[in-house]
Chain A
């Protein structure tokens, strides 16, 4: 039980996927201007990330390793993720057109979101059991959504701030991310 708890704390806070592992920076900077959009993005990524972790683990354990073709890992994993994203896109388009509009270009881009592939590979590298894989990917999904939400909350207020012209947009967003990253460093004493 304690092991699982350590995985959760470490994935959500200490090794936050965006702020200390630098995975999923594109949506983190791109869709974090509005809280509603970032919630949608967080949800979509979490969904894809958790299912992808499950499928890639099963694929690795029961197909790639027994057949001794682990070098095909990258190709196999990215194909799984690409088809999953296609599926999620169709579902969201059908059931929630406003959300589909808000997420816009970033929805197909989940395919090239390094967070999803990154977590799938980390799962295999750490040789987790299926239970740990699920907890690990769930916590990373939560960590991603948390970072995205915090960021969009700050950026909504940043709109009214008086920022030097050349720092507007991405540069100031990166500085904000740096400050968030510094405060997340404070958690590193936890484990």
Chain B
């Protein structure tokens, strides 16, 4: 097993958001500022890492007929822990992300990795896989939110970049999420075709 390949596939060739089109809901909803996007990415990475470890450790104990409910309970447990931790330590981010923190539990990336990778591999590759996928997802979120924040609010991480009357408010409103993600996906297709 090539561990380096397992790590990089989540970031580039199998990027969960841009290539596999998983986890679209948070990617569109919370990417109004880089800060929120980064926070969401870190939260998802944490849950993904923890659930991949537990699923991989218990893969011989869980009967295959009830594996999906079992995975969901494992994931929901870690989401609840994350929810409480964020409530206690990052209250501002907790309010900004709102309902999308409990909704990490239905993020297809996490269940997808548990089912297609962690339940079939030993713990080390599962950890590497979770880290790669998590970082890939976080980078993608940061990219989308950077585009939206710079164009929509004229700021980056709260830092004023553009004069106040230039930004196009639409980019941080709901339609902006669709526009930004659609254009990034289109550009990526174009870019990949050229290199191939």
Bound-complex Cα distance A34 to B17 (A): 24
- Assess whether B193 is interfacial by the CB under 8 Å rule: yes
- Contact (Cβ within 8 A) A25 B72: no
Supposing A166-B190, A182-B175 touch, asked if A23 and B84 sit within 8 A by C-beta, the answer is no
Interface of A is mostly: helix
Interface of B is mostly: helix
- Assess whether A174 is interfacial by the CB under 8 Å rule: yes
Supposing A82-B68, A114-B25 touch, asked if A170 and B185 sit within 8 A by C-beta, the answer is yes
- Assess whether B186 is interfacial by the CB under 8 Å rule: yes
- Contact (Cβ within 8 A) B189 A167: yes
- Contact (Cβ within 8 A) B76 A78: yes
**Residue-by-residue, is B84-103 near A (CB-CB < 8 Å gives 1, otherwise 0)?**
10000000000000010011
Which listed segment binds A: B49-57, B117-125, B155-163, B176-184?
A: B176-184
- Contact (Cβ within 8 A) A171 B178: no
Supposing A79-B69, A170-B21 touch, asked if A111 and B106 sit within 8 A by C-beta, the answer is yes
- Contact (Cβ within 8 A) A165 B193: yes
Bound-complex Cα distance A28 to B6 (A): 30
- Assess whether B8 is interfacial by the CB under 8 Å rule: no
Which listed segment binds B: A47-55, A60-68, A116-124, A142-150?
A: A116-124
Supposing A75-B77, A167-B186, A178-B178 touch, asked if A29 and B21 sit within 8 A by C-beta, the answer is yes
- Assess whether A36 is interfacial by the CB under 8 Å rule: no
- Contact (Cβ within 8 A) A74 B80: yes
- Assess whether A6 is interfacial by the CB under 8 Å rule: no
Supposing A26-B25, A170-B21 touch, asked if A112 and B106 sit within 8 A by C-beta, the answer is yes
Residues 1-51 of B at the A interface (beta carbon under 8 Å): 21-22, 24-26, 28-29
B102 CB contacts on chain A under 8 angstroms: 73-74, 117, 121
- Contact (Cβ within 8 A) A182 B170: yes
- Contact (Cβ within 8 A) B108 A174: no
- Assess whether A129 is interfacial by the CB under 8 Å rule: no
Of B99, B170, B187, the contact of A118 (CB 8 Å cutoff): B99
Known contacts A113-B106, A181-B178; 19 further A-B pairs (Cβ under 8 A): A22-B26, A26-B24, A79-B72, A82-B69, A83-B69, A108-B68, A109-B108, A117-B103, A166-B186, A166-B187, A170-B185, A174-B178, A174-B179, A175-B182, A178-B175, A178-B178, A179-B175, A182-B175, A185-B175
What is B's interface to A at a CB cutoff of 8 Å? 21-22, 24-26, 28-29, 68-69, 72-73, 76-77, 79-80, 83-84, 99, 102-103, 105-108, 111, 170, 173-179, 181-183, 185-187, 189-190, 193
